[in-house]
Amino acid sequence: MAQQLCHRTRSLLRLSAIVSSSSASSSLIPLSDSIIPRQQQQRAGFAADALTVDVPVPFKAHKCDAPSLSVETSAQELLSFFKTMFTMRRMEIAADSLYKSKFIRGFCHLYDGQEAVCVGMEASLNQKDCIITAYRDHCIHLGRGGTLLEVFSELMGRKDGCSLGKGGSMHMYNKKGGFFGGNGIVGAQTPLGAGLAFAQKYLKVDGVTLTMYGDGAANQGQLFEAMNIAALWSLPVIFVCENNHYGMGTAEWRSAKSPEYYKRGDYVPGMKVDGMDCLAVKQAVKYAKEQALKNGPFVLEFDTYRYHGHSMSDPGSTYRTRDEISGVRQERDPIERIRKLLLSLEIASVSDLKTLEKEAKSEVDEALAKAKESPQPDTSELFSHIWVKGYGAEAYGADRKEVVVKLP
């Protein structure tokens, strides 16, 4: 067992080494080849900060052609990636200390390490697209237009939470932003996602649904059922597997006969992407969206990593070594990658980035303080939203004179 763990750590570190060395080289040499120098841009009338970056780790494609490794982006976009990911990181760390000081109870699943997936996805999506995911949803809620105050309040069960304090960490939803949760049961969100895509096709909405799940959920039967019906009816759904290599305490090689999750759709085309690289994620989602709108379902596997344990109740070190965690943090951290990129492209200086970081920190602290002051929900909220006020669904007392349950 220990031997296999060591083997696992070694192979992950080897992968990190490849990635970091190639990214180190590619962030200097190929980039300088492919970046259009600033003066030339301005002369040629390009957008002042548009540029192209080469993504180091190649895409692995299954029954489709991989897109190009040159990603179009802009200085502004890269800066926003940095700021957003940093904010998300601070938010998750704040949630960690809230949990330890018992402001957050129950289960709290943190997303730090995986921010690139969420932020990269949003760069290729728009208002018409829908996202549904499982319980590691705080950052995705933020990415879809939620506010820090909503997230912190919901985590602490207060009135200002996005679900009025009644959902908690695992049940965050944002209807306006097109975020459909926030689901507690592993894998149960995959048929729901197929349903969202069904509605998009039925109502002729020009959008896709991203149904996210993890490597643990990839072994659920309902996922394969959902893939079958999505492929049968060409539903515009992208099945996104966030492969962080551990299903709670069980490593992927111990739970899946075939850990090539992007191939498990069989007749559904798929692609494996380095999930710690924002730009690779952006490119992959852009490509997958085009495919999904034309041909039906697509599977994306993002190779990512979580620094925390499965949840706050899990130390995260009994099934993996601390070396592995710190190794990934040093070699593949998504925020550090963007930082290096920004510095090497001279889009921002060290002090600029420090300012952004400070801004993010203060936003998070402010929201946290406000959330702590938010009141607990009213007692009447216990009974509200059980039923929608439809055709007279009220629960009266026996005499129908005394209303025991009031519906809004």
Binding site for another protein (CB under 8 A): 127-128, 130, 132, 161-168, 171, 173-176, 178, 180-185, 188, 190-196, 198-203, 205, 207, 221-222, 225-226, 228-229, 232-233, 384-400, 408
* The dihedral formed by the CA atoms of 264, 302, 184 and 269, expressed in degrees to the nearest 10: -30
Strand, helix or coil at 298? strand
Q: Burial-class residue 15 by CB neighbours within 10 Å (0-12, 13-18, 19+).
A: middle
Shortest reach from residue 198's CB to another protein, in Å:
5
Residue 14 or 385: which CB sits closer to another protein?
385
Which H or E run contains 243? strand 237-243
CB of 45 to another protein, least distance (A): 34
Q: Provide, rounded to whole angstroms, the least separation between the CB of residue 377 and another protein.
A: 9
CB nearer to another protein: give 25 or 127.
127
Instruction: State how far the alpha carbon of 107 is from the alpha carbons of 100, 152, 155, 313, 367, in Å.
Output: 12, 14, 10, 7, 21
Nearest CB to another protein, comparing residues 140 and 347: 140
Pairing of β 237-243 and β 298-303? parallel
Residues whose CB is less than 8 angstroms from the CB of residue 95 and which lie 6 or more positions away in sequence, other chains included = 104, 108, 110, 138, 152, 155
Q: Closest approach of Cβ 401 to another protein, in Å?
A: 9
Q: Whole-angstrom Cα distance, residue 343 to residue 183?
A: 39
* Cβ nearer to another protein, comparing 44 with 176: 176
Buried b (16+ CB within 10 A) or exposed e, 143-173: bbebebbbbbbbbbbbebbbbbbebbbbbbb
What SS3 state is found at 20? helix
Q: Is the peptide bond before 182 cis (omega within 30 degrees of 0)?
A: yes
CB of 216 or CB of 316, closer to another protein: 216
User: Are β-strands 209-214 and 130-132 bridged in parallel, bridged antiparallel, or unpaired?
Assistant: parallel
Provide the minimum distance between the beta carbon of 61 and another protein in the complex, in angstroms, as a whole number: 26
Q: φ, ψ for residue 188 (rounded to 5)?
A: -70, -15
State in angstroms the smallest separation of the CB of 35 from another protein.
37
Buried b / exposed e along 98-119 (16+ C-beta atoms within 10 A): bbeeebbeebbbbbbbbbbbbb
Cβ nearer to another protein, comparing 69 with 405: 405
**Cα separation, 73 vs 79, whole angstroms:** 11
Which of residues 346 and 399 has its CB atom nearest to another protein in the complex?
399
Q: In whole angstroms, what is the distance from residue 316 CA to residue 332 CA?
A: 18
Nearest residue (CB) to another protein, 46 versus 383: 383
68 or 127: whose CB is closer to another protein? 127
Could you tell me the smallest distance in angstroms from the CB atom of residue 352 to another protein? 35
Smallest gap from residue 172 Cβ to another protein (A): 9
Please report how close the Cβ of residue 259 comes to another protein at its closest, in angstroms: 23
